[in-house]
């Protein structure tokens, strides 16, 4: 089970020693044009989670390719680029510009909760990107869709090689005077409160597609990561936990071994999909 | 980023009430106290995210932080007892430049937090002006012996009108945003320590942006101490 970061939760250029603990670094989402992002306040802690409304702040495609990508490559960490946009053409153009010798995969951000612009459908975007690049394509989906497995099947049919599950979910937090804490009003909820929703999304999408899945949403410990494996994830990504513990990638990797032993499985791969399998022998406490 | 990327557990050596604030003393261990104005992320017991604090005092073997209990995280920090452990990451960000000839320290409310350590590192007992909203809050001025203290509705900036303090003072300030903007308008060469909500303190969350050099930039990486000219002063603050 590889340990990745969730897109937008780490700046590898600002904190290279944190990024070097990862098996893969995933960039913050890159859009065609530069975006300054949302006005502050942009973050708020909630019960067992946090809200953010960063608003896809990024340097834009051209500056990313010219300035950021070469510096990221120097870090020597396998690199995935998170691609965003407002039309299928936006995504496809960026995918066609990613050098396969430097980038291991493209993650298509089809689910940012902090942009209002209507996008083309997930399957249309994936299909356009499939024509634009040979790179593996991971579709990052939202669990807010009434049937995320249906979306997963559609992007699989359109040529996605894998799924990243899940993105944040929209939420609101209020201050003492009942005003939204975030300047944008609403934001994306992340952290431990997402974990049950994320496990469900991983589970149904694994059953529906069998595609490789990067599971994320509230992973704090090795045990959490193992639960994502048990629901069908091949890899795990860390988001909010990185804010409180920049040493989390190494710690979670270390805890995974102990979590496997405690659960009676040889490895996360061994646990993959166990949670959905009816023939799993359940251990009953003596 | 400090040499260790992981927050290190530190034992609480004691706490003291200072007016409505709590001075939280931690065992220093191998942690570098850093430059005054730099900050540390302190685990807030029972909460998901750590909280940023500039260092208030650096007694031998200790690091001390001034905590204002304004929410669940800071309340939990104020309730810590000697012997408890709390995880600490730092020092982070950029502090004050100490190569100033005639320093004048200006603080407002909980913004006095970095000034005791700043005064100590500058040496020579620099003059200090501090303002508080009440007499109870002003008890914290005891951390700054010799400081000139004003209470609301008198503003600390009234003490540094050009002419009264002289124009050749180099102001190093920390306090609420309106105070910092007023200081910037009066003293365009001031060094100002700003504050913003932060989830990580090391550039990962993009939450703490402030308008710096005309664009939104992460305060944890650029500051928290910034030259006054880097932050735009709205017209209303300049005439206030």
Q: pLDDT value at position B167?
A: 61
Tokens of A114: 């902090």
Contacts of A45 in chain B (CB under 8 A): 47-49, 73, 199
**pLDDT tier, A280 (very low <50, low <70, confident <90, very high otherwise):** very low
B59: domain CATH number is 2.40.30.10
**pLDDT tier, B240 (very low <50, low <70, confident <90, very high otherwise):** very low
Q: Is residue B173 part of a domain?
A: yes
The domain boundary, picked from B92, B115, B140, lies at: B92
Q: pLDDT value at position B158?
A: 87
Rg over CA atoms, chain B? 17
Please tell me which of the candidates A37, A40, A244 has its beta carbon nearest to residue B49.
A244
Q: What is the number of other CB atoms lying within 10 angstroms of the CB of residue B85? A: 15
CA–CA separation, B148 and A230 (whole Å): 63
Tell whether B50 lies on the interface with A, counting CB pairs under 8 A: yes
* pLDDT over 80 (residue A284): no
B116 & B54 share domain: no
Q: Is residue B98 part of a domain?
A: no
Q: What mean pLDDT do residues B181-196 have?
A: 94
Residue (of A145, A165, A163, A270) closest to A219 by Cα position = A165
* pLDDT over 70 (residue A114): no
Hunting for tokens 């040499």 — which residue is that? Answer: B3
* pLDDT over 70 (residue B239): no
Mind listing the pLDDT tens digit for each residue in A206-255? Answer: 999 999 999 999 999 999 999 999 999 999 999 999 999 999 999 999 99
Q: Is residue B28 part of a domain?
A: yes
Q: pLDDT value at position A121?
A: 87
B226 & B114 share domain: yes
B42 & B132 share domain: no
Q: What mean pLDDT do residues B74-95 have?
A: 98
Task: Pick from A4-18, A109-123, A267-281 the range whose average pLDDT is largest.
Answer: A4-18
Q: Is residue B196 part of a domain?
A: yes
* pLDDT over 50 (residue B9): yes
Give, in words, the CATH class of A3-38+55-170+190-276. alpha beta
B181 & B211 share domain: yes
Range of the domain at B231: 103-239
Contact (CB, 8 A) for B155 and B182:
yes
* pLDDT over 80 (residue A160): yes
Contacts of A48 in chain B (CB under 8 A): 48
**pLDDT tier, B3 (very low <50, low <70, confident <90, very high otherwise):** low
Contacts of A43 in chain B (CB under 8 A): 197-199, 205, 207-208
Tell whether B204 lies on the interface with A, counting CB pairs under 8 A: yes
B79 & B179 share domain: no
CA–CA separation, B116 and B124 (whole Å): 13
Q: How far is CA A284 from CA A89, A167, A226, A266, A276, in A?
A: 53, 34, 19, 19, 18
Strand partners, A138: A107, A162
B41 & B85 share domain: yes
Q: What mean pLDDT do residues B206-215 have?
A: 95
The domain boundary, picked from B92, B113, B140, lies at: B92
Considering its fold, how many domains does chain B have in total? 2
Mind listing the pLDDT tens digit for each residue in B122-175? Answer: 998 999 999 999 999 999 999 999 999 999 999 998 888 655 455 678 999 999
């Amino acid at each position: 089970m590889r340990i990745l970061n969730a897109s937008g939760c780490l700046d590898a250029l600002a904190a290279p020693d944190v990024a070097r603990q990862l098996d893969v670094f995933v960039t913050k989402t890159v859009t065609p044009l530069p975006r300054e992002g949302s006005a502050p306040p942009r973050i708020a802690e909630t019960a067992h989670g946090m809200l953010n409304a960063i608003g896809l702040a990024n340097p834009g495609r051209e500056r990313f390719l010219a300035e950021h990508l070469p510096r990221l490559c120097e870090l020597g960490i396998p690199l995935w680029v998170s691609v965003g946009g407002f039309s299928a053409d936006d995504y496809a153009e960026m995918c066609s510009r990613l050098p396969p010798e430097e980038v291991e995969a493209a993650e298509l951000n089809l689910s940012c909760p902090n942009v209002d612009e209507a996008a083309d459908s997930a399957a249309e975007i994936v299909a356009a990107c499939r024509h634009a690049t040979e790179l593996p394509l991971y579709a990052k989906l939202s669990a807010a869709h009434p049937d995320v497995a249906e979306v997963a099947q559609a992007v699989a049919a359109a040529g996605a090689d894998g799924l990243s599950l899940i993105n944040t979910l929209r939420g609101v937090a209020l201050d003492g005077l009942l005003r939204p804490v975030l300047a944008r009003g609403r934001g994306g909820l992340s952290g431990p409160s997402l974990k049950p929703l994320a496990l469900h999304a991983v589970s149904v999408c694994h059953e529906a597609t069998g595609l490789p899945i990067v599971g994320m949403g509230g992973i704090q410990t090795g045990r959490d990561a193992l639960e994502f494996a048990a629901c069908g994830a091949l890899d795990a990504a860390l988001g909010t936990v990185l804010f409180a513990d920049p040493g989390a990638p190494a710690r979670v990797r270390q805890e995974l071994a102990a979590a496997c032993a405690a659960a009676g499985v040889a490895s996360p791969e061994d646990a993959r999909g166990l949670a959905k399998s009816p023939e799993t022998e359940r251990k009953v406490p003596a | 980023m400090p040499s260790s990327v992981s927050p290190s557990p530190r034992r609480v050596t004691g706490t003291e009430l200072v007016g409505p604030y709590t001075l939280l003393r931690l065992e220093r261990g191998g942690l570098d106290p850093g430059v005054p104005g730099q900050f540390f992320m302190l685990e807030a017991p029972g909460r998901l995210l750590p909280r940023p604090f500039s260092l208030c005092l650096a007694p031998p073997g200790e690091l001390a932080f001034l905590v204002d209990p304004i929410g669940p995280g800071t309340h939990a920090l104020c309730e810590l007892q000697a012997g408890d452990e709390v995880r600490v990451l730092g020092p982070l960000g950029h502090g004050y430049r100490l190569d100033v000839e005639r320093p004048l320290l200006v603080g407002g409310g909980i913004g006095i937090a970095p000034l005791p350590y700043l005064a100590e590192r500058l040496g020579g007992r620099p003059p200090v002006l501090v303002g508080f909203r009440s007499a109870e809050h002003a008890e914290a001025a005891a951390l700054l012996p010799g400081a000139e203290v004003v209470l609301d509705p008198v503003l600390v900036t009234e003490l540094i009108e050009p002419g009264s303090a002289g124009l050749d003072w180099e102001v190093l300030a920390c306090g609420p945003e309106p105070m910092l903007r007023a200081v910037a308008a009066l003293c365009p060469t001031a060094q100002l320590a700003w504050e913003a909500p932060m989830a990580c303190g090391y550039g990962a969350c993009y939450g703490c942006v402030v308008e710096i050099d005309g664009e939104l930039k992460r305060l944890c990486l650029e500051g928290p101490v910034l030259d006054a000219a880097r932050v735009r002063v709205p017209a209303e603050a300049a005439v206030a």
